[in-house]
Amino acid sequence: MLTFAAISSLVQMLQRHGTDPYTGEKLNLVASQLSRIQRTIRELVDFSRPASTLVVPVRLHEIVEEALGIAKYYHRTKEREIQTDLAADLPVVRAIKDRLTQVVLNLLINAIDATSKGGRIRLRGRRVGQHLEFLVEDNGRGVGEIDRPRLFEPYFTTKSQGTGLGLFVSRQIIEELGGSLTFHAPETGGAVFAIQLPVESGDVAPNLVTASSTPGVAS
């Protein structure tokens, strides 16, 4: 990583000193690729690092609230309408809170990126039998049929600046908790990502839910 940092610093130094257009263009390309590599390394390290917290009972309301609190700083969030619809009787689930927040945030950012200005995103939570179901729905561009089988493959991405690890890592986290993460393509367009997590019988959270619809981040 010291070598990586040294290369990055050298590129920035050369950019500050000014260069001819051709060299400047190539330096910008190098800087862009270094940034992409850095993001990839960061995601790999975050996923491979041993958990620093225990698996504990967590409430989806708190996870969603925390993810929305982070997403509001993303520059594209304010141009979207984000709705939350979490059932009043949601059970708690056992998870590593930070990792589950990471998954919800990743799905939320993906939905924001998939929609245009004025796009709508809906976060829904409900109990289905012995599972907690959480849906992230958007009315964006959707996913082409040719790309759908590869959505959860490592390094596959439809984003120009994506690492291709977000959905792969997210599915791994959910499966480690005994759950599932799947994609659905509604007939009306857009995309739906569904998380299902097992719950313990009789394990129900207090009535903490709100249902809201506001521009940008809803609480």
The per-residue pLDDT for range 161-182, each reduced to its tens digit, is 556 678 888 999 999 999 999 9
pLDDT at 77 over 70: yes
pLDDT at 207 over 50: no
Closest Cα to residue 140, out of 188, 93, 199, 195?
188
**Sequence-distant contacts of 46-54: CB under 8 A, at least 24 apart:** 46/102, 46/169, 47/165, 47/169, 47/172, 47/173, 51/96, 51/99, 52/98, 53/96, 53/97, 53/98, 54/96
pTM: 0.68
Segment 6-22 shows an average pLDDT of: 73
| Banded pLDDT at 122 (limits 50, 70, 90) | very high
Exposed/middle/buried for residue 33 (C-beta within 10 Å: 0-12, 13-18, 19+)? exposed
Sequence ranges of the domains in the chain = 2-48, 56-215
CATH superfamily of 56-215: Histidine kinase-like ATPase, C-terminal domain (3.30.565.10)
Segment 16-38 shows an average pLDDT of: 76
pLDDT at 41: 64
pLDDT at 23: 81
Pairing of strands 131-138, 191-198: antiparallel
pLDDT at 45 over 60: no
Residue 216 CA to chain centroid, in angstroms?
A: 16
